[in-house]
Amino acid sequence: MNEHNRPHTSTEGTSMKTREASGPSKMTARSLWENLKDQSASELIIENLIRLSGISVIVVVTLIFFFLLREGSAAFLDIPLRQLFGSRWYPIEGLFGLWPLMVGSFWVTIGAVVIAVPLGLTTAIYLGEIAPLWQREILKPFIEVLAGIPSIVLGFLGWVALAPIIQNLGAPSGLTAFTGSFILAYMSLPTIISITEDALYAVPKEYRDGSLALGATQWQTIWRVVLPAARSGIVMAIMLGIGRAIGETMAVMLVTGNAANIPEFGFGALFQPIRTMTATIAAEMGEVAQGSLHYNVLFGIGIVLFVVTSGINLLATRLVGGRGKRRPGGRL
């Protein structure tokens, strides 16, 4: 009311005063004011662009899913589900059974998890709780280097160096699920190690001090206090490690033998050649005709991968919850 009747006081009052005070200066409050108006126009554009790029992230995810559906939904519509989840993958004969590929992905991933989780957690505990600073400074760059090695290079190494070793151990071929698991384990180690280390780091120092003050040994403190306190972060580390392993393509393609058969259930399965969902897409997409059923099914596998990895990631964040939370600072 009172306020709205005099919206302009704010400009006029000042220009007088500032002019008096600034003496020889030609800049008046009014010209400050006008400058501001000009800036505001361009700032409005910039701020809207910033908003747009924030929102675009949602658009990108939606578009990815949309295009996968667009090219791949026919696989689920045109092929009877019994056949689609059947046990034979012979695209040449029109048999698109995804089951062997899923089993292949499953075995390789399980193998990778079994190897990577104990190694990763132990290394994270060592780096976070035991190693003296100088060792940490030497060891951590190695973990970063490992994270930086391209998957094709690791695949190449598995192919030229690891597979012959495994064959010498008595497997019929060096290209087995285990070979893939081993490479994948090393690929997911950096993820597991760094997230676990963050989780350990987040455990308040008072917990450790309290436990040690009660006479517990360092190991008892780690085992009984620190690890339980960091539990949710560790779960997240493991799940994201799994997500990384399922989605990996080139390395497993080179070293798992690419045989779309269903291995017998059990330990022996790890030493048979298998083929993963990711490798199937990579190996066959180059040779299919666009729009063919085979093409659609490869996109259909993409949909499965998208849904599975999204599910794992969402579950991991949901379970942990706190990690996505904003810290103080920032935000104007």
Partner 1 sequence: MKRQQTQKLAVGIITTVSFLVVVPILLVLIFMIANGIGGISWTFLSQPPRSGMTEGGILPAILGTIFLTLGTAIAAIPLAIGAAIYLSEYASDNRLTRLIRLAIVNLAGIPSIVYGLFGLGAFVLFLNFGTSILAGSLTLGLMTLPVVISTAEEAILSVPQEFRVVSLSLGATRWQTIRHQVLPHALPGIITGVILGLGRAAGETAPILFTVAAFYLPELPQSIFDQTMALPYHLYVISTQIPGMPMEIQYATALVLLLIVLSLTLIATFIRSSMRRRREW
Partner 2 sequence: MSNPKPKLSIQNLFFTYGDETEALRNINLDIMENELFILFGPSRSGKSTLLRLMNRLSDLSEGGQRQGKILFNGSGIFSRKVDVINLRRRISMVFAIPTPLPGTIYDNLTYGLKMAGMRDKATLDERVARSLQQAALWDEVKDRLHTSAFALSGGQKQRLCLARSLALEPEVILLDNPTSGLDPISTTIVEQSLHELKQQYTIIMVPHSVQQAARVADKAAFLLDGQVIEVGRQKDLFVNPKDQRTEDYVTGRFG
Q: How far apart are CA 203 and CA 211, in angstroms?
A: 13
Taking residues 35 to 54 in sequence order and writing x for each that binds partner 2 by CB under 8 A, - otherwise, the string is xx-xx---------------
Q: Is 15 in the site for partner 2 (CB under 8 A)?
A: no
User: Which string of b and e fits 222-245 if b means at least 16 CB within 10 Å?
Assistant: beebbbebbebbbbbbbbbbbbbb
Q: Is 35 in the site for partner 1 (CB under 8 A)?
A: no
Stretch that binds partner 2, among 22-30, 214-222, 254-262, 315-323 (CB under 8 A): 22-30
Taking residues 113 to 132 in sequence order and writing x for each that binds partner 1 by CB under 8 A, - otherwise, the string is -----xxx-xx-xxx--xx-
Q: Which is nearer to partner 1, 85 or 219 (CB)?
A: 219
Find the shortest distance in angstroms from Cβ 84 to partner 1: 18
Torsion of CA 308, 313, 318, 319, to 10 degrees: 90
In 3D, which of 143, 320, 135, 124 has the Cα closest to residue 222? 124
Torsion of CA 64, 70, 76, 78, to 10 degrees: -160
Judged by DSSP in three states, 95 sits in strand
Stretch that binds partner 2, among 27-35, 115-123, 148-156, 242-250 (CB under 8 A): 27-35
Report the first-to-last Cα separation within the chain, whole angstroms: 29
Q: Are 86 and 155 in contact (CB under 8 A)?
A: no
Question: Tokens 């071929």 correspond to what residue?
Answer: 173
Site for partner 1 in 72-101 (CB under 8 A): 72
Site for partner 1 in 4-23 (CB under 8 A): none
Q: Is 231 in the site for partner 2 (CB under 8 A)?
A: no
Q: Name which of partner 1, partner 2, none residue 106 binds, using a CB cut-off of 5 to 8 Å depending on partner kind.
A: none
**Interface positions with partner 2 (CB under 8 A):** 2-4, 6-7, 9-11, 13-14, 17-18, 21-22, 24-27, 29, 31-33, 35-36, 38-39, 331-332
